């Protein structure tokens, strides 16, 4: 192999590895964007976004279908989706958050509205 081919192959390998590492941090999940003041317990004991609540001033949180309420690092992306069922692509919060905080704080990458029937 020529030197150029080796260099190109090495560059391609590094690029593919970087894409894989980046993609491993991303997750997708369905849930509801909710004002933190509007999170309540459902009759089954799971957290839910209380539909009649119109709390003002609370931060947006993501109430996942897995029953976990996660704080959202970038609030501006959530504001137009408040109270709506969504599919969210996210990644864990960036440092300096502690490992415990990283479990419950996410950085939203993309939010897509889901219709109520298609949940």
Asked whether residue 118 is domain-assigned, the answer is no
pLDDT of residue 22: 52
Is pTM beyond 0.85? Reply is no
Asked whether residue 51 is domain-assigned, the answer is yes
Question: pLDDT by residue (tens digit) across 55-83?
Answer: 677 899 999 999 899 999 999 999 889 88
pLDDT of residue 103: 66
Contact 71, 61 (CB under 8 A): yes
pLDDT of residue 116: 57
Q: Which residues face 64 on adjacent strands?
A: 31
Compute the distance between CA of residue 106 and CA of residue 94 in angstroms, rounded to an integer. 8
In CATH, what number is assigned to the domain containing residue 59?
A: 2.40.50.500
Asked whether residue 13 is domain-assigned, the answer is no
Q: How many domains does the chain have?
A: 1
Residue 59 in 3-state DSSP? coil
pLDDT of residue 41: 87
pLDDT of residue 110: 92
Low-confidence ranges of the chain (pLDDT < 70): 1, 13-24, 55, 95-103, 116-119
Domain extent at residue 55: 26-113
């Amino acid at each position: 192999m020529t030197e150029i081919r080796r260099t190109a192959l090495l560059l391609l390998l590094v690029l593919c590895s970087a894409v894989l590492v980046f993609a491993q941090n991303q997750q997708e999940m369905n849930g509801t964007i909710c004002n933190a003041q509007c999170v309540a317990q459902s009759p089954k004991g799971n957290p839910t976004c209380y539909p009649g609540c119109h709390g003002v001033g609370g931060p947006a949180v993501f109430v996942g279908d897995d029953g976990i309420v996660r704080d959202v690092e970038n609030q501006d992306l959530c504001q137009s989706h408040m109270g709506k069922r969504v599919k969210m692509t996210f990644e864990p919060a960036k440092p300096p958050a502690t490992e415990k905080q990283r479990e419950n704080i996410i950085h939203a990458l993309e939010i897509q509205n889901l219709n109520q029937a298609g949940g």
